[in-house]
Amino acid sequence: MAGLTPVPGLDGRLALITGGRRGLGLEMARALGAAGARLLINGRDAGPLGEVCASLRATGLDARPAAFDVAGPGAAEAVERLADDHGPIDILINNVGQRDRRGVLQMDQADFERLVRVDLTSAYTMSRVVARRLVDLGRPGSIINVSSVVGGLLGARADVAYTVAKAGLDGLTRTLAAELGPHRIRVNSIAPGPFATETNAPIVADPKITEFVTSRTALGRWGRPEEIGGIVAFLAGDGASYLTGQTIAVDGGLSTTY
């Protein structure tokens, strides 16, 4: 249509999506692949991961498994090997996340530190390895952290470690954006709200929680998992070339509705 500028694609760029085997991570991978990116799908279990990649390839996407634990001691080395085998990683999606719905009076120190290591420290590890190689090559890139409206924008009772980790991801986003901007590496985060993923199926089925979601969100409904992909593909590409250091809520208006 005249007057409209097409959204730039991601043809040939390599994207690593942590926790990409299911849920929002898988939908992000689909969107990046549809825009032309080559996909490295991360997860801990090689068998199921291989099946997911095979199903993506059956739809015409270029998807390969990257089986390793992002919070494990060999994570940095695993990313280095991926870059050696497949080329520099142009797009990093730090999506891995766990949740432990306990508050400060219930959660002990060890469990708190474990969840923060998975949800926050792993993103630092991944970002550092990817960024260093891009800088050494003089190559631009995009890092996208997946935080949450819980912690990133809002507080929550009985969810202390997850809330702290997600708030930390948004702080990491701003700091990395400032530090890596001169190297043409953009860093942003998205803050999903209530999505009807398979992980959330038990609470989606709870009428009281669904009533809360429909009353608190401006759009009056749960998000569909596939609705996360567009913003990720946009942030990864050249259409967002002057956008960095931002946290974008993808929450149906939950964080802006009084």
Residues labelled catalytic? 162
Going by the DSSP 8-state scheme, the letter that residue 222 receives in this structure is: P
Please tell me the distance from the alpha carbon of residue 246 to that of residue 226, in angstroms, as a whole number. Answer: 22
- Among candidate residues 160, 171, 147, 165, the one with its CA nearest the CA of residue 255: 147
Please tell me the distance from the alpha carbon of residue 247 to that of residue 231, in angstroms, as a whole number. Answer: 11
Contacts of 140 (CB under 8 A, 6+ apart): 90, 134, 183, 184, 185, 186
